[in-house]
Amino acid sequence: MSVKEKFLDYVSYDTQSDSSSTTMPSTMKQKLLAQHLADEMVAMGIEDAHMDEWGYVYGTIPANCEKKNVIGFIAHMDTAEEVSGANVKARVIENYDGEDIVLNKELGIVTDVENFPILKKFKGKTLIVTDGTTLLGADDKAGVAEIMQAAEDIIKNNLPHGEIHIAFTPDEEIGAGPDKFDVKGFGCDFAYTLDGGELGGLDYENFNGTSAEVEITGRSVHPGSAKNKMINASRVAMEFASLLPSREVPENTEGYEGFAHLNNMEGDVEHAHLHYIIRDHDRDLLEARKDKFNLAAEFINRKYGLELVKVTLKDAYSNMKEMILPHQEILDVARTAMRKNGVEPVTTPIRGGTDGARLSFMGLPCPNLCTGGELAHGRNEFAVLEEMETIVEIVKSIAELVE
């Protein structure tokens, strides 16, 4: 199989994770792809490949030459909550003409150049898109496919390499990917996650990430006699949201600018719930953003004279920069591997998180590499086949170049 065939196979599995779940993995359907990958790894000659009880997949390619370092490659299997990953109908567009892509004529779903000008960069390339009813799953099944293809090539062609460890994780999209990751058993000196975007990406800065759960308790009274008695939790929720900075949201920010993102809301008169993610590259600025949530709750509770609003903040991951920079040799190997394959490395701050962020703080330095996927977490997501093929070569070069 080629990397394209592998990718099309993997995206056919529904692996959407669920932040409301209390199990690990959060959805058992992730284990279906996990077992499939483990079986495929065994078939290609990775004898110890297996899925553990938590849904993680591990495997080892023994060294065929002497190397000082043991390296790892990691990607996640789950897809984001925002859009369904079930019944993905992928379509391959060869020699893309650079114009708007009609994903679904009947539903009027289009990936248009006006709103997505990045499309112009890929004229003449082979794009893999959806039918507009689901996301594609390039985040991060492109990374999975690239690691699998590189592993197959290394084994089949007996390419020179030291000991290589491979891992595929569940639940990255809900911040739980490293929760049960066996760093000690993985046994690597360092690793790379393949969970980035456009070709050339070599990332070692990411957001500090926090979630905020806002619970609001109201009081229901018949609307005909509600004056000075009813407290409408849904309206209080709107009031709470209005107290946060209106411009500091994802749709208005870029680069190093942080935000608070209202990811989900639901409610009625008696109860309302708001789910936010809070992000900033600077730890002090993140703490200031968290303080604004507590201050908004305190203001409303004082205003009504009741404990209507409760805010629960939970840190998810931290900026891995401080853990990566002391290990410049990891970045140097990746840069050399990219340039060997005609790619100039580009480092930008990740406006999100990866498994590598937490793994770096767990003792496994783990910068992030590109995958060739674009517009993740939405119906307009696509992957660029030529970039995926080049990334396979970059992974193989890293395996060869590492000392």
At residue 29, what is the residue type? K
Distance CA 272, CA 213 (A): 11
- CA nearest to 1, candidates 193, 153, 222, 133: 153
Paired strand residues for 272? 216, 267
User: Which DSSP string do the residues of 157-200 spell out, in sequence order?
Assistant: TT-----EEEEEES-GGGT-TTTT--HHHH--SEEEEE---STT
From residue 85, alpha-carbon distances to 110, 193, 204, 297 in Å are 18, 22, 28, 35
Q: Any idea of the CA torsion for 248, 252, 255, 256, to the nearest 10 degrees?
A: -10
3-state secondary structure of 210: strand
- 179: annotated active-site residue: no
Instruction: Out of 14, 140, 152, 172, pick the active-site residue.
Output: 172
Say if residue 52 carries a ligand binding annotation. Answer: no
Question: Contact 210/290 with Cβ under 8 angstroms?
Answer: yes
Please tell me which residue in 78, 140, 171, 280 is annotated as part of the active site: 78
Tell me: is residue 329 an annotated ligand-binding position: no
173 annotated to a ligand binding site: yes
Q: How far is 196 from 370, CA to CA, in rounded Å?
A: 4
Q: Is the link from the previous residue into 25 a cis peptide, with omega within 30 of 0?
A: yes
Beta bridge mates, 61: 164
CB-count exposure of residue 321 (10 Å: 0-12, 13-18, 19+)? middle
Q: In what order do the strands lie in the sheet with 309-317?
A: 259-267, 271-280, 208-217, 309-317
Q: Is 76 annotated as a binding residue?
A: yes
Instruction: Count CB atoms within 10 A of the CB of residue 108.
Output: 9
136 touches 381 (CB < 8 A):
yes
Active-site residue 172, yes or no? yes
| DSSP conformational letter for 378 | S
Instruction: State the catalytic residues.
Output: 78, 172
Annotated binding site: 76, 139, 173, 195, 377
Annotated binding site for Zn(2+): 76, 139, 173, 195, 377
